[in-house]
Amino acid sequence: MMTQTLKVGLVGYGMAGKAFHAPLIEATPALELTAVVSGDADKVKADLPSVEVLPKAAMLFARADIDLVVIVTPNDTHFALAKAALGAGKHVVVDKPLTITLSEARLLKSLATNAQCMLSVFHNRRWDSDFLALQEVIAAGELGRVASLESRFDRFRPMVPADRWCERHQPGSGIWYDLGPHLLDQAILLFGMPKAVFVELSALRDGAQVDDDFLAMLAYDHKRVVLQAGTLAAEETPRFRVNGTRGSFVKFGLDPQEGWLKEGRRPTPEWGVDPWPGRLTLENGEAGFSERRAPSPPGDYLAYYAGIASALLEGTPPPVSVDEAIAVMTLLEVGLDSHRQKRWINLK
């Protein structure tokens, strides 16, 4: 049983800090959200009246009472902020991606090791209901040998927002660095690192400054993985389509947790239940094929911060290791090289 409470400081209070991190930290019994770094104190106080608001990250890092720093700021600031927090002896969680370059990610790992501090990355979509269901289907062998996987994260957002940093031309912006880490992390969890990568990035919306659509292909032995995300999909596309030697798994609809958190809902006993289960179509001998719903475990973003608390208080492995985050960074960077060179890039 964890009886100690860890004091947490949150750097950044944009959409991700407000909708994801602050609510999940507050819902984790062993964590106490103590301070938030933000230039908009009124916005923070409206949601978190008992939490102290600081104007500068350095003020947070200098506090002796802060055990864990959570960095939820634009991607190109992750490295400098994480480096400073580790230098102050703080354990650190960074919102995905860890950094914007592989060299920066490796340096942060070295700094964390030398400081004997935990460094982890918020790859929360490991705990999506649909991905948990897919993991169970593959682990049970129901599809036989998986031959192909298509994983899509499509939305219809034809207007380019003027006030979002990730839509402006700057390092670490664009959909590849926004949604790419989610889909890459899931692919690595399922199948490990690929042998080769091909990526195509596009800016398809009127007025787009950065990539808002990507196609990534990952090559494995006897297996093809296709990852896609876009902002002009008005008609629903499958979230997952997986084919194997015994049948197929298809899933429509996104895990509901993100939408609920953005609406201001907080975890309840029914949290994470996906109303759109996946469908299994399996070979059934002479009868042809049989179809049935695939059981969907409840999604559980709370598992990430519960795992962080356990890692710091009980010494268990963190829910996302820095090496796993570096694997994602490797594919992000290789993907950029592939797009620029317009060719497959070999990893092995």
- pLDDT reported for residue 183: 98
- pLDDT reported for residue 3: 55
Whether the ω angle into residue 97 lies within 30 degrees of 0, i.e. cis, is: yes
Cα distance between residue 185 and residue 347, in whole Å: 16
All structural domains of the chain, each given as residue ranges with its CATH number in brackets, are 6-122 (3.40.50.720), 125-300+331-346 (3.30.360.10)
Spans in the chain with pLDDT lower than 70:
1-3, 285-288
- pLDDT reported for residue 139: 96
- pLDDT reported for residue 37: 98
* Count of beta carbons in the 10 Å neighbourhood of residue 163: 6
- pLDDT reported for residue 1: 45
Q: What is the DSSP string of 209-274?
A: -S--EEEEEEEETTEEEEEEEESB--S---SEEEEESSEEEEE-S--SHHHHHHTT----TTTT--
- pLDDT reported for residue 86: 98
Cα distance between residue 334 and residue 101, in whole Å: 10
- pLDDT reported for residue 260: 92
* CA gyration radius, the chain: 20
- pLDDT reported for residue 288: 63
- pLDDT reported for residue 286: 61
pLDDT digits (tens, 9 = 90+) for 86-106: 999 999 999 999 999 999 999
How many angstroms separate the Cα of 250 from the Cα of each of 108, 276, 293?
38, 11, 10
